[in-house]
């Protein structure tokens, strides 16, 4: 078969010819040629029809890509491949892909250079309506806005566009959500319930509550991170599970890398738990596949982060405690520390916040309670002064002022 036809016969099998075609589908953004190979089994007539359909299918891709012709859909693929994969976590990428699934149908077919601020504002209004009539939260809308802003910012850095149309788009107003947390009495009720549970449940929840660690940080902990001499735990990793695969990474910021001081009771609980785990490892024998992780599944492998919340909800339901999520144990830790007079900077360092404003913003409810309590300080002082003296000071001096 002639090469001029764009395909050639490469073999014969069972009385039929096998044809191969190499189709040029243009160049990627780096200038590399892109080709695809396709094969067909049949006779000369069917091969001609097959190749004609191939040409029709791929013709629009056969020319070199011009940046000015790049659609937002094309750019989104490039953004994930060239910017996200080298720079951000798998968890973040998964989130971006989830948001783009709803963005692409709205602006995906527009040229990147033709997208305007008006178009983006209109897109945000449509996105906010959500699916099946359920309006999206302000937090979700901010996530959409921030992703679009980042994408156009990067496009401008790559010189694909001259201005970022999202700069003048209306940013969704984030509505502050009241944080849920346990007060002192509720924490005591939780500890009382835990005292009747197995050592693993007790240790997972207690360590989280007193340290304020994130769930992913807890799951990444290893025994080598525990200092039983100085009563500290070292946080520098986080563990997440993305589509069934473990995604363990070092802390994103220097602030997340930290030593956390732990009280004696909790350290004793950790020792008791380790003793139990050592015995369990012997019991499992060759079935144990673990390494140095503190919290594991029954075979010693990593514990799934979702398991932590399941454990907490099981206990809450069993003992009829107020509903609280596993992450809100972290809020509870900070709130109780604040109520006992621990300053926000110390709380910030314990929780690994990168900015004191994050701490102040999240725990405004606790700070407001402290403001109200501070009013009573002077009232108590005045009451004590008055009650300790039969004649008030002002009454003693009344009439003697010149």
Residue 201 shares a structural domain with residue 152: no
What number of other Cβ atoms are within 10 A of residue 400's Cβ?
A: 6
Strands 258-261 and 245-250: unpaired
Helices of type H across 248-363: 264-284, 305-318, 328-339, 344-351, 356-362
Residues of the chain with pLDDT under 70: 1-5, 25-34, 56, 58-66, 252-253, 362-402
Domain boundary among 28, 44, 64: 64
Q: What is the pLDDT of residue 256?
A: 85
Domain boundary among 64, 84, 101: 64
- What angle is formed at CA 96 by the lines to CA 350 and CA 255, rounded to 5 degrees? 15
Domain ranges, residue 37 = 3-64
Residue 373 in any domain: the answer is: no
Q: What is the pLDDT of residue 75?
A: 94
Task: For 283-305, write each residue's pLDDT tens digit.
Answer: 999 999 887 899 999 999 888 89
Q: What is the pLDDT of residue 395?
A: 39
Task: For 47-71, write each residue's pLDDT tens digit.
Answer: 888 888 877 676 555 444 567 788 9
Residue 56 in any domain: the answer is: yes
The total number of structural domains in the chain stands at 3
Residue 220 shares a structural domain with residue 123: no
Helices of type H across 59-137: 72-78, 85-87, 90-107, 117-128
Residue 219 shares a structural domain with residue 326: yes
Buried/exposed 21-52: b ≥16 CB within 10 Å, e otherwise: bebebbeebeeeeeeeeeebeeeeeebeebbe
First-to-last C-alpha distance (Å) of the chain: 123
What's the maximum distance between 2 C-alpha atoms anywhere in the chain?
Answer: 127
Residue/partner pairs of 317-326 with CB below 8 Å, 24 or more apart: 318/193, 319/189, 319/193, 321/186, 321/189, 321/190, 321/193, 322/182, 322/186, 323/180, 324/180, 324/181, 324/182, 325/180, 326/208, 326/215
């Amino acid at each position: 078969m002639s090469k001029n036809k764009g395909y050639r016969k490469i073999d014969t099998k069972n009385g039929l010819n096998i044809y191969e075609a190499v189709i040029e589908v243009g160049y990627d953004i780096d200038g590399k040629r892109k080709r695809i190979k396709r094969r067909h089994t049949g006779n000369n007539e069917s091969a001609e029809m097959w190749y004609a359909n191939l040409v029709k299918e791929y013709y629009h891709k056969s020319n070199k890509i011009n940046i000015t012709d790049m659609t937002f859909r094309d750019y989104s693929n490039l953004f994930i491949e060239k910017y996200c994969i080298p720079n951000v976590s798998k968890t973040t990428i998964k989130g971006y892909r989830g948001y783009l699934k709803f963005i692409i149908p709205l602006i995906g077919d527009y040229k990147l250079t033709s997208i305007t601020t008006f178009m983006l504002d209109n897109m945000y209004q449509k996105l906010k309506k959500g699916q099946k009539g359920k309006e999206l939260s302000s937090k979700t809308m901010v996530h959409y806005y921030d992703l679009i802003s980042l994408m156009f910012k990067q496009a401008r850095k790559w010189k694909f566009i001259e201005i970022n149309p999202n700069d003048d788009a209306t940013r969704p107003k984030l509505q502050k959500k009241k944080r849920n947390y346990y007060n002192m009495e509720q924490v005591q009720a939780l500890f009382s319930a835990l005292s009747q549970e197995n050592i693993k449940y007790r240790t997972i929840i207690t360590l989280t509550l007193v340290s304020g660690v994130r769930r992913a940080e807890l799951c990444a902990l290893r025994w080598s991170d525990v200092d039983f001499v100085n009563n500290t735990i070292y946080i520098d990793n986080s563990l997440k599970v993305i589509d069934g695969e473990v995604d363990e990474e070092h802390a994103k910021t220097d602030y997340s890398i930290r030593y956390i001081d732990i009280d004696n009771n909790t350290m004793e609980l950790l020792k008791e738990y380790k003793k139990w785990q050592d015995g369990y490892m012997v019991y499992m024998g060759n079935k144990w596949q673990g390494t140095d992780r503190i919290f594991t599944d029954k075979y010693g492998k990593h514990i799934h982060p979702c398991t932590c919340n399941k454990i907490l909800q099981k206990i809450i339901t069993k003992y009829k405690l107020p509903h609280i999520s596993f992450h809100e144990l972290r809020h509870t830790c900070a709130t109780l520390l604040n109520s006992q007079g621990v300053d926000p900077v110390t709380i910030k360092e314990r929780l690994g916040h990168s900015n004191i404003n994050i701490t102040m913003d999240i725990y405004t409810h606790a700070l407001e309670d402290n403001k109200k309590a501070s009013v009573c300080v002077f009232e108590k002082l005045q009451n004590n002064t008055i009650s300790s003296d039969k004649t008030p000071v002002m009454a003693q001096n009344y009439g003697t002022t010149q």
